[in-house]
A and B are shown apart, each in its own frame.
Chain A
Amino acid sequence: MELADFLSALKEVRKDQVVVTTMASAREWPNYSDGPLDLNYAPSSMGQGPALGLGIALARPERQVIVLNGDGCTLMNLGVLVTIAGLRPVNLVLFNLENGVYEVTGGQKLAGSGRVGFTGVARSAGWERVYEIKEAEELRRELPGILRGNGPVFINVKLVARPGPSPKPRRPMPETLRMLSEALAAGSAGRQAR
């Protein structure tokens, strides 16, 4: 599956969730959505996207948070899978985008590329809802159900590697964060008012 297939399918089912993107997904997701609830995490600290998403999820339990993490990012901070499983945030969804390479640095192979089984790692870390998606058609069929129900949810998505440039933020990060904070506060107030 191509990254574009994945992002297009996510765009179709995404409602009012926060979407945190990293690396290649941070480069491409703004072409699909670039609103206040989109946090394209660039410049980043590689591997910390899930932790950032976890913090938002803990702060706003009424709001689903979707994190798109590259497999190199996941490997750089595997411990956070255990942290998330321990805290059990019901509103957190983590997509691991597996292509076996460091895409934004030129396509160098990851350590353990082709041998590591991410769904097995997630299950062993304590995640109960774990999926693997290989084909675009399967993704479109399964995605609505995956996003329903309680998390945390781990989905390993097999992608074709397409090395490309690093993400370039479309606006300064403090502005992005201010927009997101305001949207979360407004959403929370609106939900309380209802």
Chain B
Amino acid sequence: MISPEKLFEQIALCGFTHVVWVPDSATGLLERYLESAPQCHLVRVCREGECFPIAAGLTIGGRKPLVIIQCTGLFECGDALRNVLHDLRLPVFFIVGCRSYEAWKANPNHADTARLYTEPILKAWDIPYVIVENDADAGKIVQAHGEMLATNKTRAVLLAEP
């Protein structure tokens, strides 16, 4: 799993103005970094579906939001995600903590199905993504963000979690 220090370093390089998030046990380690980032506002929401319309509003208003959620939240926010990306046609850069990603690598019959459906869901919504398994992959985040800016199309980052 990528370290919170390295993850925050990459987030800071992208120049986001707002991070809209629902933490999980892995991305939650970012909290102290995000709270102390003077140039980036932390937007705490109750449920993942709120993240995408809030990010849309921020984008309409000229800001640069980042959404951080867990894959279970990705499942929850399907209609909001569809609407923002495909009806409103607003690109959103988002990071998804993929729960049980590492457990599935170790055991293909792992009981938690969260990882199993994450990539198919992203493909179904027509969202290109990169997978970040550890610190060595960190550069993929800035690269994916650059692709979003260049193409004006949404990009997602999947973080491998335990």
Q: Interface on A for B, CB 8 Å cutoff?
A: 39, 43-49, 51-60, 77, 79-80, 82-83, 86-87, 173-174, 177, 180-181, 184-185, 188
For B, the interface residue count at a CB cutoff of 8 angstroms equals 31
Q: Please, which residue of chain A has its CB at the minimum distance from the CB of B81? A: A45
Interface membership of B49, Cβ < 8 A: yes
Interface membership of B2, Cβ < 8 A: no
Cα(A53)–Cα(B58), bound, Å: 9
Cα(A174)–Cα(B84), bound, Å: 11
Cα(A48)–Cα(B65), bound, Å: 17
Interface membership of B13, Cβ < 8 A: no
- Report 19 cross-chain contacts, Cβ distance below 8 Å, ordered by A residue: A43-B83, A45-B49, A45-B79, A45-B82, A52-B54, A55-B58, A55-B60, A55-B65, A56-B60, A56-B61, A59-B61, A59-B62, A77-B47, A77-B49, A79-B50, A87-B43, A177-B89, A181-B61, A184-B62
Contacts of B53 in A (CB 8 A): 45, 48-49, 51-52, 54-55
Most buried by A among B53, B65, B83: B53
**B54:A55 contact, CB within 8 angstroms:** yes
Contacts of A87 in B (CB 8 A): 43-44
Assuming A44-B83, A58-B43, is B60 touching A184 (CB within 8 A)? Answer: yes
Q: Interface on B for A, CB 8 Å cutoff?
A: 18, 41, 43-47, 49-50, 52-63, 65, 79-80, 82-84, 87-90
Cα(A39)–Cα(B57), bound, Å: 11
Cα(A110)–Cα(B41), bound, Å: 36
Point out the residue from A44, A46, A59, A77 that lies within 8 Å of B60, measured CB to CB: A59
**A52:B46 contact, CB within 8 angstroms:** no
